[in-house]
Structure 1
Amino acid sequence: MDKTRSYWNGKKAVHRRTMMKGAGYCDSDIRKKPHIGVANTFMEGSPGTAHLRTITEKVKQGIWEAGGIPVEFGVPATCGNVANGAEELKYEQAARDIVAASIEFVSKVHNFDGLVTVASCDNIIAGCYLGMARLDIPTLCVTGGSMTAGRYKGEKMVQAQLDVAALSGESEAVLTEMEECVCPSFGACPSMGTANTMQMTGEILNLVLPGTGTIPAIDNVKLRKSREAGKAIVEMTIADRKPSDLITKETLFNAIAFAMATAASTNIVLHLIAIANELGIKITLDDFDSYADRLPCIVGVIPSGPYTVVDFHYAGGPLTVMKMIESELYTDVPTMDGRTWKDLLANIEAKSSDVIRTLDNPLFNEPGLKILKGNLSPTGSIVRPTGVPAEMKQFTGKARVFSSDLDSYDAIERDEIKAGDVIVIRYEGCVGAPGMTELMVTTDALIAKDLHKSVGLISDARFSGFNYGAIVGHVTPEAARGGLIALIEEGDMISVDTVKGTINLDVAEDVIEERRKNWVCPPPKVSSGLLDIYARHCRPADEGGAMQPWDIDFK
């Protein structure tokens, strides 16, 4: 805090103090108290963010009470469901970097001693974590929590079911009835999507206070814990506990273990690698594969089971999962309050349930995530095995090739996709999209047409955590960078084994080489603005897909 004190004291700081006084802060506060930035991702257009003003006010109360001064500022936020099925969905991955840069920019200019981010959804909360790691000042995130499941005609219903119903021929009247029911509260959609995956994982990364990441948005414990978080950040700031102290390589390994046990969103792979890179720590897809070989999925949250994240929270939440897999963790690493994970878990009484099981009685005898490699993806691709139907764990089929989610969807709607086909959607990766499109309508259409048990899908794009089926994403190298996926032709045979972890194009090498000689990369789909900048500067998906050079010596 010494640097900040000089930033706000003395004759050279008169203009800064004037600005703060003009905004309503008192002289003694400005000169003497820790300045805590409060990055609020509030946005009125989504249930995941529309309640964050209330949470933020509680955080600020806690900061004042503990002797700090909160300085709230806004961070851009979107809802992925708004752009679902539209070209604009490709902005989501690039938005993660915009969020991180926004937090970095404001925090650097104002020389905050500490930082709180308030966030809930998808790439927005991931972007907050990325920015927090980049700044490396004392920081924590307060999550917005999960919404409750809707009820339609007495049955539980979540957003993903509505998406499928919309493609299944339901009438406009029925869909309107469902719309009225499916989002009954504030909070992130209550399945194991990217939003809830990142809210949970924040606890493991020491970026979210233990036991608070999954508190439902409707539970007023959320408000009390938000105030406690405000107090905690002042304590962390005085103690100077930073992400570089709290997120070690072993901490990241613990997060990977947690992802396997919970069947996290496949997007967590992008986010953990990017966060590690910000801290100068090298983790790779091979690290994920190492944990996939020894950790089965023990959590039954939608789509890997019938339970919501609200059910998961009241069954014990992330800390119960960590207790269940304690034997596979590095427990000597620190937590946010100075204890080790061994100390923290010693006080956790984990009870097995249908929602969270033990390692010797897992929900699945397979991991929550699996890395696939082969000639189609020598650097790695990813699948969530718990969402793959039994009859599609290993599949071989004829390639049906498309260059966008919408083109593939149209072919399904025209009944041109048949059992035994393997849909290939390419030029939708980080560079090709650009922005790495999140495929939604094709996967939902496969389920709506009952083709998800007989049709595979591979892509250099990514998927929502809502999605399930024999769907393989993040194929690298991507098509726009000359990956083999660019050379697939209609009718080629493709083989995928989600158990052994292989993905191959069954075409002779001499044929492939001839195609490579004739391949010409299509012109960019976007040649201006944010997505153009992203395409020119992003890392490949297997390196986190972030807009950073990271020319550093990794730990």
Structure 2
Amino acid sequence: MLDNVPRAGDHEGLRDALDRAPARAHYRAMGLGDEDLRRPFVGVATTWTEVMPCNLNQRALAERVKVGVRRAGGTPFEFNTIAVSDNLTQGREGGRASLVSREVIADSIELVVRAHYFDGLVCLVGCDKTVPAAAMAVCRLDLPSVLLYSGSMAPGRWRGRDVTIQEMWEGLGEIDVGSMSPEELLELERASCPGAGTCAGQFTANTMGQSLDFLGLSPFGHGQLLAGDPDRGAAAERIGELVMEVVRADRRPSSLITAHALENAITSMVACGGSTNGILHLLAIAREAGVPLAIETFDEIASRVPIIADLKPSGRFVAADFHRAGGTPAVLRELVAAGLMHEESLSVDGRTLGELAAAAAPAADREVIRSVEAPVKHGAAYAILRGSLAPGGCVLKLGGRQDVVFTGPARVFDGEDECLSAIHAGAIVAGDVVVVRYEGPAGGPGMREMLAVTAALIGQGLGDSVILVTDGRFSGVTHGLMVGHVAPEAARGGPIAAVHEGDVIELDVPRRELRLAGVDPETLAERLAGLTAPAPRYE
């Protein structure tokens, strides 16, 4: 967040100064008249693209947002930025572009707004990196803003059950062990993703879309409407009207994104069993907002907040069920009732979370959204570990498991591709600790998601009997005992670079430790001193 961002109404004499006549000529070329130029200017940023289904409805939604802006007395200007599909690039070279795209999206939104002196901003977001990117951008700009998550796709139906992209990835592992045929997988392919929208479980996109509500950047409940819901258009118009209220009230992200708001977002992420990518993204949002946030805060909250939403990938239900059961307003109501929310935190509509909770209806389906007193799982969604293998920390996706202790021999792979080949060849067995290194932000580069690896393990039935340890990260689709974000990463000389095949690795959740057993500090130091860093993949 910077202090020299143009403030509302600062159009450098655009409306009447003689030297701005050339600029006005271009506005008139777009059909604007004197009255349009006198109104507040509102940017409408979309991440629409045809390279994935996730954001495919945003062009239509942007038109409806602009209707709302005009109705409320503003002049809207739509502009577009990029998006990279995690699913389409998963397990491939293109996956290195995904996390990098977050920064490019944030930068591009910031640049357009800085250049064009908008009074307010609406960001339409969907696929994984677009959500935190837009939040990062508005924190930098500190301009009156509203973010709108464009919605999940409906689940597919296959052989009498709801299916998502999760079943597709895990099906590849099932083929390896003969529990699914290639023909069945191709049949599933045609059923699993029936239309526009983000992936249909509590994966990264939905995790971050819900977090926007608890951060205060989006009104509660709008994001849970499915992408194809007939009410989506009317909701988008209300967002256009809301941003004009926010502009007139001069309500800025700096008044919303506080330490308490970030803790609320973390609490909701834990309660809904969200993606570990949320840790990366909330840390980045906090940094852009200038709010200190320690990684230990995630562990502290996860240790006391149970999982109350029974959602895929670890649970039973999908995003459509979550919306039907009451969505984020129902979750907020439960968390406030249990004393787990900072109720004084503000939402973008000007109400406090306490006021919103008081107005929220109870969950309509107690199988999907439960109470804190009778949760889906009492154990933590994840844990932050340290130790000799991760002195800078790492994150373990627990999915509600408690007091996990695991010891096993290291199976070491310098990259995802090498590891995936070994899994498909049947070389990984129960009890192994699979180490995938040189997949961090620098070593990858780009910190790819290990979904192809984790899904193959799950599909082969090894999700609870094998641990994966990596300096890369995980898709929100991932579940099982997976340790990611190991720091320092291998490319930066972290201890993970010095693990040898067969070394014993110990995971101890009660002690919050990940360590190399039987390798004393002197031996580890000698190994690290003798390492030669691999050549970078890109020059």
Aligned to 1:60: 66
Unaligned runs of 5+ in 1: 528-555
Q: Which runs of 4+ in 1 moved over 6 A?
A: none
Q: Which amino acid aligns with 2:468?
A: L
Aligned in 2, Cα 1:465/1:499: closer, same or farther, shift over 3 Å? farther
Give the counterpart of 1:383 among 368, 372, 396: 396
Give the RMSD, CA atoms, in angstroms: 1.5
Q: Which amino acid aligns with 1:493?
A: V
Q: Which amino acid aligns with 2:368?
A: V
Tell me if structure 2 keeps the 8 A contact 1:75–1:102. Answer: yes
| Whole-Å separation in 1 of the counterparts to 2:507 and 2:419 | 20
Q: Which amino acid aligns with 1:422?
A: V
The Cα of 1:5 is off from its aligned counterpart by 6.0
Tell me if structure 1 keeps the 8 A contact 2:172–2:456. Answer: no
Find out whether 1:21 has 2:28 as its counterpart: yes
Find out whether 1:48 has 2:60 as its counterpart: no
Aligned to 2:18: 11
The Cα of 1:455 is off from its aligned counterpart by 1.2
Q: Which amino acid aligns with 1:181?
A: A
| Whole-Å separation in 2 of the counterparts to 1:7 and 1:207 | 29
Give the counterpart of 2:442 among 416, 431, 440: 431
Greater Cα shift, 339-348 or 55-64: 339-348
SS at match of 2:121: strand
Aligned to 1:336: 348
Q: Which amino acid aligns with 1:24?
A: G
Greater Cα shift, 72-81 or 349-358: 349-358
What aligned pairs does 1:96-495 form with structure 2 within 5 A after superposition? 96-169=102-175, 170-326=180-336, 327-351=339-363, 353-386=366-399, 393-495=404-506
Q: Which amino acid aligns with 1:186?
A: A
| Whole-Å separation in 1 of the counterparts to 2:392 and 2:332 | 30
Q: Which amino acid aligns with 2:500?
A: E
The Cα of 1:416 is off from its aligned counterpart by 1.6
Tell me if structure 2 keeps the 8 A contact 1:8–1:16. Answer: no
| Whole-Å separation in 2 of the counterparts to 1:136 and 1:393 | 43
Q: Summarize deviations over 1:141-162 as a string: whole Å, max 9, x none.
A: 1111111111112222111101
SS at match of 1:511: helix
Give the counterpart of 1:518 among 495, 508, 530: 530
Tell me if structure 2 keeps the 8 A contact 1:405–1:440. Answer: no
| Whole-Å separation in 2 of the counterparts to 1:172 and 1:369 | 34
| Whole-Å separation in 2 of the counterparts to 1:27 and 1:5 | 16
| Whole-Å separation in 2 of the counterparts to 1:162 and 1:42 | 25
The Cα of 1:329 is off from its aligned counterpart by 1.3
| Whole-Å separation in 2 of the counterparts to 1:444 and 1:387 | 19
| Whole-Å separation in 2 of the counterparts to 1:394 and 1:277 | 33
Tell me if structure 2 keeps the 8 A contact 1:387–1:470. Answer: no
Q: Summarize deviations over 1:11-66 as a string: whole Å, max 9, x none.
A: 22112211211122223212x11110011111112221111111111101001111
Aligned in 2, Cα 1:393/1:7: closer, same or farther, shift over 3 Å? farther
Q: Summarize deviations over 1:272-320 as a string: whole Å, max 9, x none.
A: 1111111111101111111122111111100121100110111111121
SS at match of 2:373: coil
| Whole-Å separation in 1 of the counterparts to 2:70 and 2:301 | 43
Aligned residues: 524
| Whole-Å separation in 2 of the counterparts to 1:136 and 1:449 | 48
Aligned to 1:545: none
| Whole-Å separation in 2 of the counterparts to 1:100 and 1:183 | 28
| Whole-Å separation in 1 of the counterparts to 2:277 and 2:112 | 27
Q: Which amino acid aligns with 1:285?
A: I
SS at match of 2:153: coil
Q: Summarize deviations over 1:115-147 as a string: whole Å, max 9, x none.
A: 111111101222111112111101111111111
SS at match of 1:6: coil
Greater Cα shift, 198-207 or 42-51: 42-51
Q: Which amino acid aligns with 2:120?
A: G
Tell me if structure 2 keeps the 8 A contact 1:303–1:387. Answer: no
Q: Which amino acid aligns with 2:73?
A: G
Percentage of matched positions with identical amino acids: 36
Aligned in 2, Cα 1:189/1:299: closer, same or farther, shift over 3 Å? same
The Cα of 1:487 is off from its aligned counterpart by 0.9
| Whole-Å separation in 2 of the counterparts to 1:394 and 1:52 | 45
Tell me if structure 1 keeps the 8 A contact 2:153–2:198. Answer: yes
Q: Which amino acid aligns with 1:438?
A: E
TM-score (structure 2 length as normaliser): 0.94
Aligned in 2, Cα 1:148/1:387: closer, same or farther, shift over 3 Å? farther
Aligned to 2:4: none
The Cα of 1:7 is off from its aligned counterpart by 4.3
SS at match of 2:386: strand
| Whole-Å separation in 2 of the counterparts to 1:232 and 1:460 | 41
Tell me if structure 1 keeps the 8 A contact 2:377–2:400. Answer: no
The Cα of 1:194 is off from its aligned counterpart by 0.7
SS at match of 1:381: strand
Aligned to 2:508: 497
Q: Which amino acid aligns with 1:321?
A: V
| Whole-Å separation in 2 of the counterparts to 1:283 and 1:521 | 32
Q: Which amino acid aligns with 1:471?
A: M
The Cα of 1:357 is off from its aligned counterpart by 1.0
Q: Which amino acid aligns with 1:118?
A: L
SS at match of 1:122: coil
The Cα of 1:344 is off from its aligned counterpart by 1.6
Q: Which amino acid aligns with 1:298?
A: I
The Cα of 1:171 is off from its aligned counterpart by 4.3
| Whole-Å separation in 1 of the counterparts to 2:427 and 2:193 | 34
